[in-house]
Chains A and B, each alone.
Chain A
Amino acid sequence: MAIINHKMLPAKAPPKNLVGPSAWVKNNLFDGPINSLLTLAAIYILYLLVPGTLDWTLFSATWSGGAEACRINNEAACWPFIAVRWEQFMYGYYDQALRWRIDFALMLLFVGILILAVEEDTRQSAKWKPWVMGLLIGLIALFASLMIKHGAGLITTLILSTVTAGVLLAFWNQQIRLKIGIFMLVIYPLIAFVLLKGGFGLKETSTNSWGGFTLTLVIALTGIVASLPLGVLLALGRRSEMKIIKTFSVIFIEFWRGVPLITVLFMASVMFPLFTPPDVEIDQLLRALVGVALFSSAYMAEVIRGGLAAIPKGQYEGAMSLGLPFWKMMRLIILPQALKIVIPGIVNTFIGLFKDTTLVLIIGLLDLLNTVQAATTDPTWSISSVPYTGYAFVGLVFWVFCYGMAIYSRYIEEKLHTGHKR
């Protein structure tokens, strides 16, 4: 007699030791003798490092109370040191009454970067407006409040903020990212220079007073803004068929890539005065900026050269068969594609440049790391935990910015890959 089932029996749950947390632990952590050993070793290393670091940084740290509280509790981080000297770390020795100019320049910078960074949804361009608008208003409000704190009059702040917001709204359409891009690359450097240095009715400042995180941003941004066009020219020159231009480009690129940035900075600060007429005094910061710009343009040239090589020959041939002259071909057809491909490489170069700004310590410029280091020699703060706190703070700032840029680069890579799916 056959036993016939007319209904499918419901599937039973798998055995306990194949699914669930214990199975995951067994498969991923204790897979075999070597893996088990590695897991135990890793856990031991983490046990040695993590609790101590967390305790020193967060749990036992002094959060308030000034130098006296830190002196009592000198076995853990001293965060009042950062809080009290925050203004100096951010603005260096810039004239206190004029710091609102830096705030305004930063406002324009962050607003521009936000618009450029947020990818628009081209099918439904209205979709990303509300939260982006909200973020923009928030940023403008934040920097406006900083400006007022630093001595800009209420009227000045209101005028500048509303002009910024108004210009953005007036030009808000599909082409805004292109317009903002051109603005940030060409016009913003001039505005920022006038704001920081003075002129056109604003009081002049000496570049010796620029320091802290402001100086880091100035050097890094000058490097990137200068190196992009120079890098494009050099990359095109290296691929050129004209012997002289090609030789010059190759020599330039290989020279600047082959020497360390420190020697470039030494050379810029020591040899520059020799090249100029005796009574012309070249600004110390300007020397460093020229060195950094030339150095990074060589690296950028190699990155862009990779992009140019990745464009199929058919693009060049198609453009030429249409009768496009060389520069029109580059501007309209080749460079948009090439630059899009190497955005990850460009962001990588920028991350490296951002970290390399710490090297200006060697020629005596006070960037963030140097300012913090100089501050640790203050007798008020001569506590054993203060230098470590300073280093931890600088490390954290750089880590946040560099990791953020790395995440953004990965986001762009993902976005661009959709274009290559066939």
Chain B
Amino acid sequence: MSIVNNTTANMQKAGLASGFDFLESTAGFSIIQALVPYSESSTYGQAFMVSLVNTLLVAVIGCLLATILGFLVGIGRLSKNWIVQKVATLYVELFRNVPLLLQIFFWYHAVLKPLPGPRTLHEAGDKVFLSLNNRGLVMPEPIPQDNWGIIVFLFFAGIIASIFIARWAKNRQKTTGQQFPVFLTTLGLVFGLPLLIFLLLGSPMELKPAEMSRFNLKGGVTIIPEFVALVLALSIYTASFIAEIVRAGIQAVNHGQTEAANALGIKNSTTLRLVVIPQALRVIIPPLTSQYLNLTKNSSLAAAIAYPDLVAVFAGTVLNQTGQAVEVMAITMGVYLTISLLTSLFMNWYNSRIQLQER
């Protein structure tokens, strides 16, 4: 009880009103990367949304890159090729044992910040398609034209159709034994058909390149170096852990399974796809979700290089400006807790679904 008394007494003394009304006040600061509409006159609540979207963006792209890289390195560690195996081991042991903060600093201060500025690279008046300079990665701005919606619709329809076709093909194979080229069909429906229609409709997407003005590139889409450094460092760091998880998962599959598949005359690649990887996934998925969670939480290190994620903007700038420590920290920790608990729930559901049914 005395803790509550102390807290209220201290907060009253500091003139802090408790409650969440501060979310409606004007923010008064700008954010360098805002994927939802935001300006200096937006409220703190909108600043919260912007920073939350930034965090989720880093988390999703980081998880994607980390998974791809982690799987590649993990399988590389099991390769028969001596040099590939040694390079993969070197990668894992190097990036696992160096702190993440140091890796973020390395990418940001040692690789991206020393790049030359736009003035050094381009002449005024140039139209620039792709530029990597110390203000970020500048790409052309995609401006969708009239029929773009059709292409997007075809893309998603293709994905859904592929799911149904895969299911139908599996059933047909069970009943009649005939195989269906599912992979090629999926490729055609999801990528080929939209691409074809895109070309037929006359490319309804304009890529407007950036133009070099006297000091800086104007227009185009800029990916800020803080984002690149954070995503690179997070992906490479987490991929080293994922590589070990993948290696453990594949090694956990009984060698007898591979031997039996080979005895049946099945090719190595088909064995991997149908026998080893489904069983390995059972061992891989729980720690993998754990690593995704770690990556999401580690994205909070963005505060060290001033990338505007949830902790840096909300628990940093907003907390400093309003002084509402208790509410701000409660909201911030609440967000991370929600993400963690959702992931835990998913993991428990997945575990119970794939449990080995033992007699």
Contacts and interface: CB of A to CB of B under 8 A. Distances in A.
A271 B329 CA distance: 9
Contact of B337 (A259, A266, A271): A259
B336 A266 contact: no
Interface stretch (B36-44, B96-104, B251-259, B271-279): B96-104
Contacts of B82: 28-29
B333 interface: yes
Given A271-B329, A395-B98, A403-B97, A258 B81 contact: no
A35 B337 contact: no
A260 interface: yes
Contacts of A358: 99, 101-102
A274 interface: yes
A31 B81 CA distance: 8
Given A262-B300, A276-B6, A45 B80 contact: no
A263 B336 contact: yes
Interface stretch (A36-44, A122-130, A412-420): A36-44
B333 A263 contact: yes
A260 B298 contact: yes
A213 B181 CA distance: 60
A275 B329 CA distance: 14
Interface of B is mostly: helix
A254 B340 contact: yes
Interface stretch (B8-16, B63-71, B139-147, B189-197): B8-16
Contacts of A266: 311, 315, 319, 329
A35 B80 CA distance: 9
A43 B82 CA distance: 11
A45 B6 contact: no
Size band of the A side of the interface? 35 or more
Contact of B6 (A43, A255, A275): A275
A267 to B, nearest CB: 5
Size band of the B side of the interface? 35 or more
B76 to A, nearest CB: 8
A398 B311 contact: no
A28 B80 contact: yes
Nearest to B110: A388
Nearest to B4: A275
A43 to B, nearest CB: 7
B31 interface: no
Interface of B: 3, 6-7, 9-11, 13, 79-84, 87, 93-94, 96-102, 105-106, 109-110, 297-298, 300-301, 303-304, 311, 315, 319, 325-326, 329, 332-333, 336-337, 339-341, 344
16 contacts: A28-B82, A29-B81, A39-B84, A254-B337, A254-B344, A262-B300, A263-B315, A274-B6, A278-B6, A358-B101, A361-B101, A369-B101, A391-B109, A395-B102, A403-B97, A406-B96
